[in-house]
Amino acid sequence: MVLVKSLMRKPVFLYPDDDLKKISSKLRRSDVDVFVVINKKGKFLGEIHEMDLLSAVIPERNLSSEEVIGILGFGIKKKFFGKKAKDFMKKHNVIASPGDKVEDIAVKMYREEIKCIPVIVRDKVRGVITIGELVRHLA
């Protein structure tokens, strides 16, 4: 039985008000494809993947109006106009503990369709486990 603590990796943190300049700087300096957004107390708020940031660098003129505004003009996609981490982050409440079984976390990720789960110890993010780590281990 493999536990989360053996596969989790050190997270790279962002705060909700971090701007694109700070986000891109951290992206260049770190070897990660996901950021964990936390508040000042270290509580998990959401996650940002590289793909989520793509909308910030694609010129709007290269996309259809449906891709930017949505079908029938409903639900303008905030991330296309985003400037801060809070504009790009995906929120969810799925968390793991270091002692959780890897197989159980894989099922949670599959069912909830999420790519990353924060590992929480005493209400603070201490690690992160991604689909990549799970697939490499379980395959």
Residue 70, classed as helix, strand or coil, is coil
Contacts 24+ apart (CB under 8 A), 36-39: 36/11, 36/12, 36/116, 36/118, 36/125, 36/128, 37/13, 37/85, 37/86, 37/89, 38/13, 38/14, 38/125, 39/15
Share of the chain above pLDDT 90, in %: 59
Tell me the mean pLDDT in the region 44-51: 90
pLDDT digits (tens, 9 = 90+) for 58-116: 666 666 666 555 544 444 455 555 689 998 899 999 999 999 999 999 999 999 999 89
Percentage of the chain modeled with pLDDT above 70: 81
CA distance 3 to 6: 6
Instruction: Give 33's DSSP letter.
Output: S
Q: Give buried/exposed letters for 99-124 (b at 16+ CB in 10 A, else e).
A: ebebeebbeebeeeeeebbbbbeeee
User: How is the chain split into domains, by residue range?
Assistant: 4-138
- Structure-block tokens of residue 13: 């943190």
Residue 16 has pLDDT above 80, yes or no: yes
**Fold assignment, 4-138:** CBS-domain (3.10.580)
Provide the pLDDT for residue 59: 63
- The whole-number pLDDT of residue 33 equals 85
Report the 10 Å Cβ neighbour count for 61. Answer: 5
pLDDT band at 31, cuts 50/70/90?
confident
pLDDT at 61: 67
